[in-house]
Amino acid sequence: MDAVLSRVYPAFSISISYSNISTCENSLSQPIRPPLMARTYMHLLRATNSVGGDKIYPKHLKFAKRNREPQSRNSHPRKGSLNLPRKTDAVNLEVSPHRAVSAVRLMRIELGGAFADLLNEKGKGSGNNEMGYVERTLGFRTRDLDDRDLRLVTDIVGGTIRWRRYLDHLIMSLCHEENMFRGMEPLLLQILRIGFYEIVKLEMPPYAVVDENVRLAKAALRPGAGNLVNGILRKLVLLKEKNSLPLPKLEGNDRAQARVLAILYSHPVWMVRRWTKYLGQEEAIRLMMWNNSNPSFSLRANRRKGFTRDDLMMRLKTLKVPHEPSLHLDDFVRIGTGMQIVIQAGLLKEGLCSVQDESAGLVVSLVDPHPGETIIDCCAAPGGKTLFMASLLSQKGMVSAIDVNNGRLRILKETAKLQGVDDVITFIHADLRIFSEKNPVKSDKVLLDAPCSGLGVLSKRPDLRWNKKLEDMEQLKNLQDDLLNAAAL
């Protein structure tokens, strides 16, 4: 438990026992749900402290001593887990389902390390699988998502991640004090971020946004959390109506301006400093605006299953998903919106198509696989290029897929079977730098797509900006050099 709290709240060092938490729960008129017991207890301690208390909870709460009662082995969630005990089988019809799903997705991404798109070649992370996460995390179920809800989830999650720094600056500015923001429990912070994004960036009807997010906070946390959300969001609405959002001015020296730009365009300060240094401020701003724009995606029709681009476009037309054929690749189709609809339709699960960027497809076109050739893909996972090359071999030849990550390689193997190309792929779990020295292999062609910073795809992977550090760049350079030397052996 202490490990969890020190990770989420590094500024605090406290010791918590489950017996104390149970006592806290009995002291409140509304029970504290298991997902947030520990974090709520910390807030209660802060509320009774005369220094730095945020005064959200009453100061008169008493914590009686009680011996710890025997607990069953599975009575409490695992440390750091979002898979928490379900509270009830009843469906909560008062809570907006797309906001509940968005809040849980954001929790999984920020605390659980999930990818922002939450899907792989099979489309996992959506539908019933994800609603299970919602139920276990929030303690209740919502109604199922319809197509409109799915689009809103995609927009809200992606946008909230992109604008996280900007939104956090506004939230912090409207809190009574900075410590209140710093100590805010994760789910409450995600609900506020969603509300701020909907009001400021999506320009949804403000008072409807306030009402819906207050309901979510009360249902998922407690009434006091709903009151806090209500107060802060109403402050935001008034400031937005007066066109006086508390944003910093672009002034001072280069370092000061970089910090301001990092807030205004929601990027890490080190990225802003790097780009303004090498590109100039104007180009850096254009780049950040591009990173914050809504991305388009590409789908590749799987010709191995006899599914052509024309077939794919016909299915997309039936699903009413806007699309257009790629200008450069025969098997690819571009879509701007509607990815969740494609997933729900089962096109990915059936292996008829896959999500693949055109830039990756162009790399495969340079390799130009022909039936009967042997090809080595040196850093294969997650495997989009491996699968595309295999589909072009017409069941003649072999692609050797090498990767150091056995888990990702296992997923690639499952996806290859799903797409019907596993018979022309050999899966090799190895570090290329060691494997190439001990296993000299001859092949017709070698493809090395070495690990990179990912800074060129921030519009499609907005979470990457918050997971990268400046020191990663130098480490990547050295790794790329080593892999290139190994691939050349």
- Known binding residues are 379-385, 403, 431, 449
Distance CA 415, CA 234 (A): 48
Instruction: Return the CA Rg of the chain.
Output: 25
Task: Please give the Cα distance from 425 to 123 (Å, whole number).
Answer: 22
Q: How many angstroms separate the Cα of 358 from the Cα of each of 242, 326, 370, 387, 390?
A: 44, 8, 20, 14, 17
Segment (H or E) for 352: none
- Binding-site residue numbers for S-adenosyl-L-methionine are 379-385, 403, 431, 449
Buried b (16+ CB within 10 A) or exposed e, 59-75: eeeeeeeeeeeeeeeee
φ/ψ of 129, rounded to 5, equals: -60, -45
Q: How far is CA 382 from CA 121, 385, 390, 436, in A?
A: 9, 9, 14, 20
Give the whole-angstrom CA distance, residue 184 versus residue 225: 10
Q: How many CA atoms lie within 13 A of 248 on its CB side?
A: 20
Structure tokens at 112: 């659980």
The residue type at 465? R
